[in-house]
Each structure stands twice: as structure tokens, then as C-alpha cells.
Amino acid sequence: MHGDPSQIDPTQSRRVELILQQLDALPTLSAVAVRVLELTSDDSSEMSDVINLISCDPALASKVLKVCRCSEQGRAANVTTIDRAVVLLGFDNVRSAVLSLQIFEMFDGDSSCGGEEFSAKTVFSRQLYWQHSLAVAIVAEKLCSISSLKNQFHPSEAFIGGLLHDLGQLCLHMVLPKSFDRVCELALAQNLPLDLACRKTVGVDAHTAGRRIAEHWQLPHQLSDIIWLHGQPYEALPDLNHKPLIGLISLADAIVRREHIAPLGHGAQGENIEAMCTCIGLTLEHVEEVVPIIHDELALRSEGMGLESELGTRQLLRSVCRANEVLGRANLVLRQSASCNKSQKHIFEAITEFHDTAVPGATMTQILGRVVQSAAEIWGQGFYSLLYQANDREPLQYYQFDEDARLQHSQIFSATDGGFLFDDMTDNQPLNEDVRDRIPELGDVLEETIDLKAIKLLPLRCGWGVNAVLVHDRTIDAKGDRVMLEALSRTWGASLAAGNQHEGAKRVGEQLVEANRELMETQDRLAQVKTMAALGELAAGAAHEMNNPLTVISGRSQILLNSIIDPEQRSMAKQIALQSHRLSNIITALRLFANPTESKPKSVNLQELIGKIVREVKPKRRKPMDLNSVFTSDIPTKVFIDPDQIGRAVTELLQNAVEAEGSSHVELRVQIDASDDRLKIQVTDDGSGLAPHTLTHAFDPFFSAKPAGRQPGLGLSQAQRLVEASGGQITLENGSLKGAVATIWLPHWREHRVQESRNVA
């Protein structure tokens, strides 16, 4: 969140870990303070316990009395006893006071915990740090008390959160005083956020350091999160119960820095105060009510904390002076920028031209060609080529272009020593022996076209380093044109990096689309399985309940059929018997759908099984029919399947094909899928094909595209259950020209495969 660890090299990573270990070596809170915090956090604690505990530590007791007399509650009362102070302040304020005083006292020394010595005059001022922290605490407390936030948090929680929000800065100052001074100087000189300067200089930011010490001291999670997350955009914060409190501390911090109450290097960064207010339910009116009292309140509270007391007017004058200093530095930067504008005009025009001629979605070769074209327009006609390496896992590639960006030659180089590193290359350096030793192919290629002594190498930099080098023969004053070269190399390097990311994103996008498609198909199959399971349970129950009355109907109809003489009544009894038999078949099919029998594979002559099925299947209506079967030459004589289950499934598919509308030719083809060794039994007809609705619901129980009463709609669903019981699947689709294609796929048809699948199950 505060810095990308992936950008830290191993040496830097080790240094960061050592710094964090030094933070762990900082002293912990005293036993009395820890006990006070425990008692004031426990609703069942007695006030007398807290009073007695504070009273037993005279130093702590005197400081608590001083804080009470300087607080808003204690100013109007003559507080001389601890019990009176605790009553006036309350548990929440006592807890804040004790924690504040303890931490202030712990960091009041002059010795570093990390081995570095303090300079005679440090850039980072602990006095200004504490004044800034106290001002943030005051603003946060006031904003909480005058707004609806007081219904969510006690103002003392806002106060202690504001007081400790920048604790990481103080910790880094105590551990690495000289290094942290350089951080403050860098932030001040370049107007950088302190965290960014911190990561650039020491490799770890103050937020991370503060979180580490908060965990070391076992502070509440709420305080730890404030120290770690404050300053982040509100919408980027995790969904925490105390998220509004973190936003409040960030707002208070921005207000105080805008008022120039902050140590060097920790000035305002142009935060949008109004937007920050809106996120937590405040308005600018709340801010305008609090700002005028900051300096006076800070002068009063500083006395209670033991800081050097300044009257409100003097504090205000100091802030004005700080504001003038900031304005002075800004004016200096503007003057320097103005003096550089003229010399940089040429480079800006070149960069503008380069961007204006950008082609959206260009390939890497096209982008490399544009870089060469841009260089030729700036430095004139000559020799230009590029070394490019997408990342440290990709090979080094060489591209040679003419001045019009036409590719003349390309080649892949095999760099020695595990890959060529561009980061150690200086701007416009000659082709020296070190480079030639690491990339011998480069010298071999260049010798054929140009004098190697004329060659210069310009590394093209991007955000994470150098992934390309411009090879040219132009005479350029690298020192005099340093700014121009830096801007050009970064522009070209950023373009190459963006192209590389675009190609990577395109590949990732394709992979995501494919993964999403597979996920949707899996979800569809899962939904279908759940539906089939529910239908199976329903079918089992329905079949059980219908079986008994059906037995009675069937039996009585047989008795009537044998006893009735009248032809008309006998015909009706016969219809009852036939329909009862039909319904009995449906119930049998329902039972099979609900509870398919377990597969019992055995060695079967597949050609004999298919031949028998083909002979038995005939169209129910009289029509000419050409029905034939085809076996590819790689089909073995024996296969290991359940002949009953697979035979019934094939029969159903074949019966549907011969009865399809307009069908006159049906082919049953048996072959082995070369890609995954599945046995494939495919039935193809030349009928009118299947409607989209039919394809979607073909395997649903009781669905039939035929007129009502013709079929019960259980054939394909029953066939699917039979094939699935054998570990296979059925697919149904329309043919490329006409007709329909039904396919049974059986992955376990060889004897050893069947045994392996059973062992896994």
C-alpha cells in the first residue's frame, strides 16, 4: 500500500528488514502505563483502581494533573488531586493522557537506537514534530466533538489517533537520525511527499515503521490502522468499522499541514479538503469553525505535554514565516524552470512529435521503429539500431532500422552471464570491451556495416529500469545535452514499456477471457448437476408413490379384459391395460433416472454390440432409411465398458436419429480421439436439425420437441445418466450442413483406465 516491495532489490530488502528489527529494539511501555491502559479499557474497572495506580507513580501523577489543568475540562476547576483529575477527564481521556505522556517521555532522549549519532543540528525537529502531532490531535478532537462523528467515536479516540498518527517518523528519526535528515532534505528540495522520499532514501516509509512499532507495543488495532493507513484516499481504505476515524485523522493532518504547523519536508501536498470532508460526513463550515482556535489551543496544550510553550500569536507568526519560506522556495523553482524552458524547447517539440505520431495498438517492432525515426529527426541521418529485452526471462533481441523506421535486420542474441544488464550503462557511452564481451554477437553484426569506434549506446529508461538501448553513430555532447538525453530516453523508454505492458495485458486478457469462459461453463454444468439431482429426488419419490395405484389399475384392467364379452367394453379395458403398461415403463425410466445402476464394465466385442443395436433399431414410421456403421482401423476387438448401459444409450441416440424429421441417412461412427484417447461413438443424421430451444433443453427430463403424447421426453436424459454412470458424457449439436450430431465420449474404455478411475474414486 505504501510502496511496492517487488521493486526492492535483495540488498535493499535486507536493509529494510534490519531497520524494522531495530524498531523492535525500541523500549516498550512501562508496566504502570500498560496497567492503566488495561483498567481504563475495561468497563468493569473501578475508578478507585485507576486513581490508586496513577497515585503510586509520582512522576506520572504530576504529569496527569498538569494535562488535566491544561485540558478543556480542567481549566475552569482548581484540580489538585488525582481523584479529581480522573473524575474530570474520564477513563477515555485518562487513557489518552497516559499513553501520550508515556510515548513523549520515551522519545525525549538524545541517543539513537540504530547506531547512528545525532548531528549537532538535526534537520528533523522533534519540537516541531510534537507540535504538529498535537495540532492534528486538537483538530481531530474538535471536529469529532462538533459533528455527528461523536456518535461513532469518543473525541479522546480522535485525539490520541491524531497525536500518534506520524509515530513512524519519530521512530525512524530515533533509529536513523542522519538518514532521516536526508529524507527531510530530499522531500523539502523536491517538494515530494515524505513517504516517497523515505522509500527512495532508506527503503521503508514512515507508515510501515509506525505500524511495526504499534504492533511491538501491542497498541489497539484501531491506533495501528490509523498510523498505517492515514493519508490514503478514503475510497482506497479497507472496509473497517473505524474507517471514518482514519479519514478524520487524514483530514486533520491535511488541515494542520496547510496551516504550516509541521516539521521540514512535511508540508501540504495540495489535498482537497472539501472532498476529504465529504467522505466522512463533514463540511467546510466545520473546518472553518476549528481553524481559528488551532494556534491558541496548541499553546495551551503544549504546556500540559511539557513542550516549549509558545503563545498563540508567536506560534501564528512562526507558521506565517514557514509559509513565506515555502513561497520563497516555490518562486526559486519557478525561476529555475523559466531559465530552462528555452533550452528545453527543442526536446519538448521532439517529444510532442513523438507522441503525436503514436499509433494506438502498435506492435513492439513498430514502436522500436518510431524511436529510430524520432532519433533521426533530432540528430540527423546515420546508423541506428536497438537492443531490446522485454524482461529478464526473455532473450535479448537486436533490431536494425533505416531512417524511415523500416526494419532491415533482426536477430536474437544469447547474452552471457545469465543475461545482459542495461542498468549499469551510462548515457551515450562508447561500445567498450565489457559490452562486447557480454554480447559478442553485437560486435559481429555491427562490424559488417559500421566502424565500431563510432558506435554510441544510449540506454532508454522507464519507471523500473532500462529494457532497451539505442545504438547509433551520431556525435552528441552527453554532458551539455544531459537534460535532453534524459527526457528523450525516458520518453522512448516509457513508450517501449507501455507497448510491452500492452502486449502483456493483451495476452493476460485473452487468458482471462478463456478462464472466464471455462468458469461460466463450469457454473452451467454445476447448476445442471444440482438441477438433475433435485429432479432425481423428485422422480424417485413420484415413481414410488405412483407405483402402488398403478399396480391396482393394471391388475384390475387385466381381470376386466378377461371377463368382459362386449367388444366395445373389451376394447376400453384393453386401452386401460395398454396405457397402464406405458405408464409402468415411464415409472421404470424415472427410477433409472433417479438412481442409475452402478456401471459394471467388462470386456466386450464392440463391433458385435453395435451391429446388434443397428439391426434392432428401425423407424416407427414407414420411410426409406439408409443406416450404416463405421469403425476406424484403430478400434481394438475388445473394449472394457458396461454393455447394458452403453448399449441402451446408443440405442436411444440411434432411435432419435432414424425418427428425426427429414432423415433418410444415419451413420454411426466409432473412433478413438487422437488428442486424449477417448472412445467416441457418434451418431449423425441428415434431417432438418434441431431448433436452438431444443438444443438447450434436449437433456431435460420430460422435454420433447415432438407433439404431446408421442414421447414421454425421458430418452435423452436417461441416456445421459447411463453414460455419466460409466464416467463419460454426451454432447448434442447441429451438423455443419444439416442434420444433428450426437456423440458419446468415454474416457475409461481401456481396462487399466477403468481400474485407475476406480482407485481414484
For residue 311, name the pLDDT band (cuts at 50, 70, 90).
very low
Bridge partner residues of 459 (DSSP): 469
Instruction: Give the Cα separation of 89 and 94 in Å (integer).
Output: 6
Q: What is the CATH number of the domain that holds 732?
A: 3.30.565.10
Q: Which of 761, 671, 688 is nearest to 725 (CA)?
A: 761
255 part of a folded domain: yes
545's enclosing H/E stretch is helix 482-563
Q: Would you tell me how many other CB atoms lie within 10 Å of the CB of residue 606? A: 20
Query: How buried is residue 26: exposed, middle or buried, by Cβ count under 10 Å (0-12/13-18/19+)?
Result: middle
Domain identity same for 518 and 608: no
pLDDT at position 631 is: 92
Domain identity same for 518 and 477: no
Q: Which of 167, 46, 155 is nearest to 93 (CA)?
A: 155
673 part of a folded domain: yes
Helix (H, G, I), strand (E, B) or coil at 582: helix
| pLDDT tens track for 125-148 | 878 888 888 889 889 989 999 999
Look at residues 498, 524, 540 and tell me which one is the last residue of a structural domain.
498
Domain identity same for 266 and 388: no
Quote the crossing angle between the two packed helices 58-70 and 294-305, to the nearest 10°: 160
Domain identity same for 98 and 138: no
Look at residues 594, 612, 628 and tell me which one is the last residue of a structural domain.
594
Give the residue, 578 or 81, on which the prediction is more confident. 578
Domain identity same for 574 and 633: no
Look at residues 474, 498, 522 and tell me which one is the last residue of a structural domain.
498
Q: Would you tell me how many other CB atoms lie within 10 Å of the CB of residue 596? A: 18
Quote the crossing angle between the two packed helices 243-258 and 126-145, to the nearest 10°: 120
Helix (H, G, I), strand (E, B) or coil at 470: strand
pLDDT at position 55 is: 58
Highest mean pLDDT of the ranges 13-22, 145-154, 537-546: 145-154
Domain identity same for 484 and 589: no
285's enclosing H/E stretch is helix 284-290
Q: Got the DSSP string for 145-200?
A: HTSGGGGTS-HHHHHHHHHHTTHHHHHHHHH-HHHHHHHHHHHHHHT--HHHHHHH
Q: Which of 276, 248, 271 is nearest to 143 (CA)?
A: 248
Helix (H, G, I), strand (E, B) or coil at 405: coil
Domain identity same for 192 and 334: yes
Domain identity same for 238 and 319: yes
Query: Torsions phi, psi of 704, nearest 5?
Result: -150, 135
Q: Mean pLDDT over residues 603-622, rounded?
A: 84
Instruction: Give the Cα separation of 264 and 184 in Å (integer).
Output: 6
Amino acid 394 reads E
Quote the crossing angle between the two packed helices 482-563 and 364-379, to the nearest 10°: 160
21 part of a folded domain: no
| pLDDT tens track for 255-299 | 988 888 888 778 777 889 999 999 999 999 999 999 988 888 887
Rounded CA Rg of the chain:
42
pLDDT at position 7 is: 47
Min mean pLDDT across 78-92, 185-199, 384-398 is at 78-92
Domain identity same for 610 and 464: no
221 part of a folded domain: yes
Q: Are 262 and 256 in contact (CB under 8 A)?
A: yes
pLDDT at position 293 is: 87
| Residue 450 CB-half CA count within 13 A | 19
pLDDT at position 672 is: 92
Query: Torsions phi, psi of 702, nearest 5?
Result: 70, 10
Amino acid 73 reads Q
724 part of a folded domain: yes
617 part of a folded domain: yes
pLDDT at position 4 is: 45
Domain identity same for 250 and 332: yes
Instruction: Give the Cα separation of 72 and 85 in Å (integer).
Output: 12
Helix (H, G, I), strand (E, B) or coil at 688: coil
What's the DSSP call for residue 667?
Answer: E
Q: Got the DSSP string for 102-152?
A: HHHHHT-SS--SSSPPPPSS-SS-HHHHHHHHHHHHHHHHHHHHTSGGGGT
How confident is the prediction for the chain on average, in pLDDT?
A: 75
Q: Mean pLDDT over residues 72-89, rounded?
A: 59
Q: Which of 90, 60, 57, 76 is nearest to 157 (CA)?
A: 90
Q: Look up residue 124 and give its three cell numbers.
A: 528533523
Give the count of domains, the chain.
5
Alpha-carbon separation of residue 55 from 64, 103, 236, 342, 420 (angstroms): 10, 19, 45, 71, 69
Give the residue, 757 or 378, on which the prediction is more confident. 378
For residue 317, name the pLDDT band (cuts at 50, 70, 90).
very low
Torsion of CA 671, 677, 681, 683, to 10 degrees: -80
Q: What is the CATH number of the domain that holds 467?
A: 3.30.450.40
Q: Mean pLDDT over residues 502-508, rounded?
A: 75
Q: Are 117 and 177 in contact (CB under 8 A)?
A: yes
Q: Which of 130, 125, 74 is nearest to 100 (CA)?
A: 130
Domain identity same for 127 and 252: yes
Amino acid 377 reads E
22 part of a folded domain: no
Domain identity same for 130 and 244: yes
Range of the domain at 687: 602-760
pLDDT at residue 248 tops 90: yes
359 part of a folded domain: no
